[in-house]
Structure 1
Amino acid sequence: MQFLPVVQRIVADRWPWPRSFPRSLSMVRSLVLGVMSLFGSVAVAADWPGFRGTGDSVATGQYPTKWTATEGIAWTVNLPGYGQSAPVIWGGTVYVTAVDGAQREKGFVLALDAKTGKEQWRHALEPTQKAKWSETVSRAAPTPCADADGVYCFFEGGNLLALTHAGKVRWERSLVRDYGEFQGGHGVGSSPAQTADTLFILIDDRGPSYLLAVEKQTGKTRWKTDREARGGWSSPVVATRNGKPEIIASSAGTIIGYAADSGKPLWKLDNVVGNTIPSASVSGDRILFGGGTSRSKDAPPMGAKGNGCLRLIDADGKPGYESVWSAKLGISNYATPLAYQQVAYFVNQVGIVTAHDLQSGQELFAERIDGPCWASMIGAGDYVYFFGKDGTTSVLKAGKEFEQIASNPLWAAKSKPKSAGNESRPGAGSEYGAGETVYGVAAADGAFFVRTGTRLFRIGQ
């Protein structure tokens, strides 16, 4: 979810093998087929196809660990308008969204060459639901999805559309026209999740709230499951159970698992405190969830949970879950938790990183990094990257002990740019940065793509 300035003012993973490694060829085949069913056009190491990549925020390959405002930044591009979504990458192209206008009257989808930053095409649209933007109202917050057929974009104005990789519109619809206006008061921050043939969109607000499944090829609704009207900005994520996809929604006090083919609720965890912003994170059969502390003056309900780990199980032949452990120290105020190399990472609103053993929940360390993170952490190689909202990335050695190896600034000076045009040039990050916020990150082909409200950076040559 790349919608953190909104909620900051409202509230102060790879898939490792399960513990019992499959011992029969049939079980291995079932596992492989299950993974293929999730992403029919399988993403490779040079792709980052959605929010947190494939939903676990883990990148394959080696990535840079040190850079400065003048070294290690391949290019910087000024974007039109403003946006809080993360970039996505497919086939050497970076896709990013933005909106412009006092009432968010214009929406944009941009395609950029990942190597050079050169704009390949731009699609403009008129959002259905207008709203005056402010520091507490979202602006192009949902992150797109991409696959071999193109890119799928959702805007908080209700527009949902599919474009080819050449920028041609395949289909477009308005969820606002179909199901009613969004009534969250602060916009929509939820990003779509995807399987090979379906998009999944979560709308949680004071008005009509639902989880929606949409056919990728046609844009038609497969199913729609209504939810209790609450406020939430988290995104759904796809898990796998017995080779079949399952949609996990951690939002607004509950965590619910839904059957991907029907929208039927399979299981539900109540009394989750503060999970309005961080999404669930999947690592094999483990589900990490996070949330801030309760804002209520009243004591949280008996048995309330805020941050912890669940495990998907089958009980009496029915899909369910069990609570594996609860984090006593770890808190995720904004960024989604990360499972990486058997360690669960949480980061809170003041930049305290807490690590727990993924299997047991044992507390490993709680240490301060350079600052709070609104973008999601990324695990890559031997390191975990925390992209601070103020432009400094803290790099930790992955493992059960705290070891910070680098603090990398994305910009140094505090002056505003001389030109507001859309341009790409090395070293542009050294010219300005006053008031900028890092919202979202993608990782592909050994490079990080970091998005602020108005700019996109490529870190790594």
Structure 2
Amino acid sequence: MKLLLIALAAATAASDPDWSRFRGPNGTGVANTSGLPAEFGPAKNVVWRAPIPPGHSSPVLSSAQIFLTAMDGEKLIVLALDRATGKELWRRDVPRTGKGRLDGPNGPASPSPVTDGEHVYAFFQDFGLIAFTKAGREQWRLPLGPFNQYYGFGASPILVDGIIILPVDQDTNSYLLGVDANTGKIRYRTDRPGVISGYSTPTVYQPKNAPKQIVIPESFQLSGYDVGNGRLVWWVRGLACEMKAVVSIQGDTAWINGWGFSQNQPGQQVETISWAEALKTYDKNRDGAIAPDEVVGGPPALDKMLSPKYGFTAFDGDRNGTLDEREWNVMRAMLASENGLLAIGLGGNGDVTDGAIKWKYTRPVPQVPSTLLYNDVLFMVNDSGILLSFDPATGRVRKQGRLKGAIDKYFASPVGADGKVFLVSQDGTASVVEAKAEWEILSVNPLDDEVFATPAIADGRIYIRTKSTLYAFGNPGRTI
């Protein structure tokens, strides 16, 4: 089993030598390269550094270029840099046609672009999709929106068989978008009425005897869609109410973590009441809706969850200041869901929940970072800088420990290559550990700036975007 998983991982990484999308080859976070430095920082093993405008998108690579999105004042920007030197090759402004909702640390340049080497495709929640050639000539644009996510947009577009695919997971009118990469024309738009706000980027899955699919962690379920026509093929219920991570996928198994509220921990769920009972309890003015100032007099734990200072705005899906029956029922489903890390068997038709969940880890999991499956070990970093390694087949925890010197919140997902796992905290501390179950810390490297973007790795270099700088780190004398 171990040799098979390692061989599959190597084949996956080798099939896409460039880190052309968010989290690299098929979102695995794994690069097939060697000679990466374990120690690096602003004054150590710097191949080059480039000042860049702010943004949370992660760098994506072609053989000769690096592409990023950014925000400069009120300007939305697509940037191209020379991969060998870090020199800026071009930047293009994209019109900001609106200002969508943003909450917490999210920003208007969070989704990462995707490239096929000849073109780069970028998405902004305040504009839509836009395509440029590698020389910076605009090829097409597709205005989209406005959107209705609680935190703002997080999912990145991916490119599969000539189709740009973007999940639009929002609190009202969610859909899956497929766009012709050559023309910018919409190939399909699949309505997904049961999906609420989500932030996960899709992954490609190839069943043995069926057309290629994309796998999307959605609110409450993991779903598989046909790449060619966007049709929903199968789904597995049991995910958290709000998904942000990318699945780790190998063969016919996916590993996915999700976190909604702390009250979604098993055994801590808040008991809710029916809509009819809610109207009797909360609808003081008898207008058939529940306003923020009416949420008193019910069960205390539910009153707290519905408080305007806590969860009311998250449950008010259409943002009109009141809760209707649909929103109430969504709230009940959200509070009944469970956080956790799951191993799920992929494929089939329709609801395949029965028997699909291979194991589930129910202790706290991270809000944002994805897991990393590398060297037959599943790695996961919690928000407080606790790193866990799992046996991917059984879910058994092999080791759990703090990343000493890097105890902080994490937005960047871990990435792996050269027998090492790289983890970067929000405050810009990069830890490097051995890629094995009984991992040990190899180094802790301060970058002296905040980091939200996931690093990219290729050809013996690791590219890390901080708040103000893109670094290429590598051992001396290594060229691409």
Query: Normalising by structure 1, what TM-score?
Result: 0.79
Given the alignment, which residue of 29, 39, 50 partners 2:21?
Answer: 50
Q: Aligned in 2, Cα 1:327/1:134: closer, same or farther, shift over 3 Å?
A: closer
Conserved 8 A contact 1:58-1:379: yes
Conserved 8 A contact 1:190-1:201: yes
Structure 1 partner of 2:32: 60
> Any unmatched runs of 5+ in structure 2?
264-268, 272-333, 476-480
Determine the C-alpha separation between the residues in 2 that align with 1:453 and 1:344: 29
Deviation of the 1:141 alpha carbon: 0.4
Q: Aligned in 2, Cα 1:328/1:437: closer, same or farther, shift over 3 Å?
A: same
Does residue 151 (structure 1) correspond to residue 120 (structure 2)? The answer is yes
User: Over alpha carbons, which structure has the higher Rg?
Assistant: 2
Structure 1 partner of 2:457: 443
Q: Aligned in 2, Cα 1:190/1:293: closer, same or farther, shift over 3 Å?
A: closer
Structure 2 partner of 1:172: 141
Q: Aligned in 2, Cα 1:365/1:48: closer, same or farther, shift over 3 Å?
A: same
Does residue 454 (structure 1) correspond to residue 468 (structure 2)? The answer is yes
Counterpart of 1:439 in 2: which secondary structure? coil
Cα deviations by residue, 1:334-375 (Å, 9 ceiling, x for unpaired): 101111111111111101111111112221111111233211
Counterpart of 1:74 in 2: which secondary structure? strand
Determine the C-alpha separation between the residues in 2 that align with 1:459 and 1:387: 14
Conserved 8 A contact 2:213-2:227: yes
Counterpart of 2:50 in 1: which secondary structure? strand
Q: What letter corresponds to residue 109 of structure 1 in structure 2? A: V
Deviation of the 1:64 alpha carbon: 1.3
Determine the C-alpha separation between the residues in 2 that align with 1:361 and 1:127: 45
Structure 2 partner of 1:345: 379
Q: What letter corresponds to residue 250 of structure 1 in structure 2? A: P
Structure 2 partner of 1:126: 95
Determine the C-alpha separation between the residues in 1 that align with 2:3 and 2:177: 29
Q: What letter corresponds to residue 437 of structure 1 in structure 2? A: V
Given the alignment, which residue of 202, 206, 210 partners 1:236?
Answer: 202
Deviation of the 1:321 alpha carbon: 7.3
Determine the C-alpha separation between the residues in 2 that align with 1:165 and 1:360: 44
Q: What letter corresponds to residue 173 of structure 1 in structure 2? A: L
Pairing of 1:59-208 with structure 2 (within 5 A): 59-62=31-34, 63-80=36-53, 82-101=54-73, 105-131=74-100, 135-176=104-145, 181-208=146-173
Q: Aligned in 2, Cα 1:330/1:242: closer, same or farther, shift over 3 Å?
A: farther
Q: What letter corresponds to residue 94 of structure 2 in structure 1? A: L
Q: Aligned in 2, Cα 1:206/1:344: closer, same or farther, shift over 3 Å?
A: same
Does residue 322 (structure 1) correspond to residue 356 (structure 2)? The answer is yes
Q: What letter corresponds to residue 286 of structure 1 in structure 2? A: T
Deviation of the 1:211 alpha carbon: 1.1
Cα deviations by residue, 1:194-244 (Å, 9 ceiling, x for unpaired): 213111101111232111111111111111111235122221121221274
Conserved 8 A contact 2:5-2:376: no
Deviation of the 1:382 alpha carbon: 1.1
Determine the C-alpha separation between the residues in 1 that align with 2:430 and 2:445: 5
Q: Aligned in 2, Cα 1:140/1:268: closer, same or farther, shift over 3 Å?
A: same
Conserved 8 A contact 2:103-2:151: no
Structure 1 partner of 2:414: 377
Determine the C-alpha separation between the residues in 2 that align with 1:270 and 1:393: 35
Determine the C-alpha separation between the residues in 2 that align with 1:276 and 1:303: 12
Q: What letter corresponds to residue 51 of structure 1 in structure 2? A: F
> Any unmatched runs of 5+ in structure 1?
1-14, 23-31, 412-432
Q: Aligned in 2, Cα 1:301/1:319: closer, same or farther, shift over 3 Å?
A: closer
Structure 2 partner of 1:365: 399
Q: Aligned in 2, Cα 1:284/1:460: closer, same or farther, shift over 3 Å?
A: same
Count, aligned residues: 397
Deviation of the 1:66 alpha carbon: 1.1
Q: Aligned in 2, Cα 1:267/1:235: closer, same or farther, shift over 3 Å?
A: same
Conserved 8 A contact 2:46-2:474: yes
Conserved 8 A contact 1:43-1:147: no
Does residue 210 (structure 1) correspond to residue 186 (structure 2)? The answer is no
Conserved 8 A contact 2:71-2:108: yes
Counterpart of 2:454 in 1: which secondary structure? strand
Q: What letter corresponds to residue 339 of structure 1 in structure 2? A: L
- The structure in which a higher percent of residues are helix is 2
Cα deviations by residue, 1:13-39 (Å, 9 ceiling, x for unpaired): xx98469x99xxxxxxxxx9xx89xx9
Structure 2 partner of 1:309: 343
Q: What letter corresponds to residue 99 of structure 1 in structure 2? A: M
Conserved 8 A contact 1:16-1:283: no
Conserved 8 A contact 2:340-2:362: no
Cα deviations by residue, 1:367-408 (Å, 9 ceiling, x for unpaired): 111233211111102111112221111111111213111111
Determine the C-alpha separation between the residues in 2 that align with 1:173 and 1:324: 41
Conserved 8 A contact 1:92-1:115: yes
Determine the C-alpha separation between the residues in 1 that align with 2:247 and 2:33: 24
Conserved 8 A contact 1:330-1:354: no
Does residue 264 (structure 1) correspond to residue 231 (structure 2)? The answer is yes
Deviation of the 1:438 alpha carbon: 3.6
Q: What letter corresponds to residue 24 of structure 2 in structure 1? A: G
Determine the C-alpha separation between the residues in 1 that align with 2:236 and 2:102: 34
Conserved 8 A contact 1:214-1:222: yes
Conserved 8 A contact 1:192-1:200: yes
Conserved 8 A contact 1:182-1:208: no
Conserved 8 A contact 2:60-2:68: yes
Determine the C-alpha separation between the residues in 1 that align with 2:29 and 2:418: 12
Structure 1 partner of 2:246: 279
Deviation of the 1:292 alpha carbon: 2.4
Q: Aligned in 2, Cα 1:18/1:444: closer, same or farther, shift over 3 Å?
A: closer
Structure 2 partner of 1:414: none
Identity value in percent: 30
Deviation of the 1:189 alpha carbon: 0.9
Structure 2 partner of 1:404: 441
Aligned-residue CA RMSD (Å): 2.9
Q: Aligned in 2, Cα 1:443/1:311: closer, same or farther, shift over 3 Å?
A: same
Determine the C-alpha separation between the residues in 2 that align with 1:164 and 1:153: 12
Q: Aligned in 2, Cα 1:275/1:446: closer, same or farther, shift over 3 Å?
A: farther
Given the alignment, which residue of 427, 432, 439 partners 1:390?
Answer: 427
Deviation of the 1:169 alpha carbon: 0.9
